Chains A and B, each alone.
Chain A
Amino acid sequence: EADIYQTPRYLVIGTGKKITLECSQTMGHDKMYWYQQDPGMELHLIHYSYGVNSTEKGDLSSESTVSRIRTEHFPLTLESARPSHTSQYLCASSEWSDSNEQFFGPGTRLTVL
């Protein structure tokens, strides 16, 4: 069973605030990902990491930043939230194997007023 957690699940915040979305996994996976999804749209990869101290930008440009100081933890930070950042943010992880299966967390629904 996949064990990947995201907090908070829902966040409503005002413009200009700094926010950090937390993502943790207990499976020891080296690879972790952040996706952004709007309703009725595809998931867009915004950041990924191959392991500790490794981070890469994804296919969709994002003003957010990420860090990977510990294997199990992959937080995403927005320095100054804007209404255009309103979306669902999904964290995922996978292991180094032939399988492309990624395990997803429950997501954080962010609303910026």
Chain B
Amino acid sequence: DQQVKQNSPSLSVQEGRISILNCDYTNSMFDYFLWYKKYPAEGPTFLISISSIKDKNEDGRFTVFLNKSAKHLSLHIVPSQPGDSAVYFCAASKWRGAQKLVFGQGTRLTINP
């Protein structure tokens, strides 16, 4: 039973445009969410997070939106840059500071010049 789902295995966006990556979850106990970015042959690196008490968190070009009623979150990257080409993982936990993260299967983002 996959509790965190990223239904788009890949996404292609033109440089300078907005990239929107989506993530759905099924466990209503999740209340803290993170996005990680992974380049080939490297480990994932933390990008941005959001607590369930918020519906939006922004950090530079990256914004995460959370819709608790729909159990959906999205990551917006604007403007998209070639260096953003990577695999993006959504992760969730039952509370902030929890030991365990549940990951989605990732979305490969390709930014075209």
Contacts and interface: CB of A to CB of B under 8 A. Distances in A.
**Size class of B's contact patch?**
20 to 34
- Say what secondary structure dominates the interface of chain B: loop
A90 interface: yes
B4 interface: yes
A45 B100 contact: yes
Interface stretch (B12-20, B42-50, B54-62, B71-79): B42-50
A92 interface: yes
Interface string A1-41: 01010100100000000000000000000010101000011
Interface of A: 2, 4, 6, 9, 31, 33, 35, 40-45, 48, 50, 58-59, 90-92, 94, 96-107
Interface of B: 2, 4, 9, 32, 34, 36, 41-46, 49, 89, 91, 93, 96-106
